Amino acid sequence: MEAQTDLEARIEQHLRVLYPQHDTRTVSARCLKSIGLEGDESTPMPHRNLWNQKDIALITYADCVRRPDEAPLATLHGFLHKHYQGLVSLVHLLPFFPYSSDDGFSVMDYTEVNPSHGGWEDVERLAGDFKVMGDLVINHCSSRSRWFDNYKKRLDPGASYFFEAEPDANLTAVVRPRTSPLLKEVVDEQGSRYVWCTFSHDQVDLDFSNPDVLCEFLTIIKLYLDKGITWFRLDAVAFLWKVPGTTCINLPQTHEIIRLLRLLIEHRQPEAVIITETNIPNSENLSYLGNANEAHLIYNFSLPPLLINTLLTGDCTYLKSWLLTMPPSQAGTAYFNFIASHDGIGLRPAEGLLSEWEIQSLVGTMREFGGEVSYRTGLDGEQKPYEINISLWNAMAGTSKSGPDEFQFDRFVCAHAVMLALEGVPAFYFHSLIATENDHARVANTGHFRSINRHLWDAEELESRLHDESLHHAKVLIAIGKLIRLRQRQPAFHPNAIQYILHLGPSIFAFWRQSPERKQTIFAVFNISNQPQTIPLSELNLFATQVWRDLVGGKSYEDRMTPIKLAPYQFIWLSNYEGS
């Protein structure tokens, strides 16, 4: 038997945990072949930051902007090149594969581009101008996929790809994000079987206790890497491994799978990045960073509900309390900050951070502003709010106490200014950069609340609105574009730069960042209320020997007796040095 390479030995360590009943040396060889690795590749440098303050992500569907007689991916590419070149470095393309439901997250074929969106050549062209993140919809696939058709016929590939359970199994502890029945009956001439469906009966969960499924996905990852995709979003990965009698979420084997994927992907492409999508309570979410050996980045799921609640109540107490508990991201890991996405405002990540009363108040205010609410079934059988479905523009329409007001634009920009200044990589949803409103007509058409924030723009209409600076769409893009360009020049806004939270009262949210080489310090100070606020400059404890200047407004503060006066939702980025 040939001697093992270091990489093969490390792969086998993971496989022995996952597949103790299998010949792990054989499975290891299959893994290497599936992802396109031969022999022992050079070991990637650990704890390396593959991002900096210039990195801005955009989350978008392939077909969110359309033009007649043009592939939507080509239309999107042209739009991004025209309006976002220099602003956005990373494009997260939400699932662009053939699908049967859930706007792409019920994948029928992982190896093809949806013909209605374009082709692989369009993805490769996009990857020539931007880093591209692709969705690895790894927990489940479509009930109309070839794999599931083969499962029903008991043929390969697919005959043993899906997780089965008996109806009388102990499933009382299973954590669910939906209210639909967990098991789906499949009947054929040989009898009936029950497959596991965490999300819907059109999304059947895959069985990763079968190494064939792992190798199948490694082949898919290789394809994506070959097509220029270098960032991988592991969709719904917290539910990946199931053991009846347990919660079937965040199980040790799930973390082991992620560690194995990280090892293989970074050896195949050292610049590749893994990001986990785990819409779960904060402490559980943090676990997916591992010891810098699982996800490179995690979605900062608690940020949207806490920041939106802050701006609606004019009180940053809950937001500050949460941030004070967040560990600094170690080198080689980072937070992926977002405040809007293709999904709703998740409420599970607010559990333990907002009181039940605060959550109910937030839900009520969002309904007042035109939002909807999706529910999940709790362990006690009770239906609980799972996410709020609303466009961010409408979510910022007013306050919890007073309702809609004249500060919608200022509140909206302030929210994004907070995200841009916080530790982590900022990510903008396509519809937030242009402040798209609630799409109630699409909800009525699809019957799904999430469609409210998944508007499909006609390219000419959108171009017209962005050229009319009297409209809020153009105003928002101009204002946020200026902030992005400003951020990109500041080393103190590096995603891993030091961050300390300041205590200036409930109506002022403030923190300071310091660049890794400690050359630049920025005090980010936000009035998160609808009332003017005054702050004595002495409370910021600025170094008296330096001149401090607001990067946003340009005002210098040399006289330490001069107070800072902030209008409703006004903010300053006070720095001792302006980046180039």
What are the catalytic residues?
A: 235
Distance from C-alpha of 120 to C-alpha of 99, rounded to nearest angstrom: 16
CA distance 430 to 433: 6
Please list, in sequence order, all residues whose beta carbon lies within 8 angstroms of the beta carbon of residue 504, skipping any fewer than 6 positions away: 510, 525, 535, 539
Asked if 23 contacts 16 with a C-beta cutoff of 8 angstroms, the reply is: no
Give me the long-range contacts of 69-73 (CB less than 8 A, separation at least 24).
71/117, 71/118, 71/119, 71/122, 72/116, 72/117, 72/118, 73/113, 73/117, 73/118, 73/119, 73/122, 73/123, 73/126
Q: Answer whether 396's CB lies under 8 Å from 408's CB.
A: yes
Per-residue three-class SS string for 394-445: HHCCEECCCEECCCHHHHHHHHHHHHHHCCCEEEEEHHHHCCCCCCHHHHHH
Residue 318 vs residues 265, 323, 355, 403, 485: alpha-carbon distances, Å: 38, 9, 9, 21, 30
User: 3-state class of 174 per DSSP?
Assistant: coil
CA distance 62 to 483: 26
H/E element holding 78?
A: helix 72-83
**Contact in structure between 477 and 433 (CB atoms under 8 Å):** yes
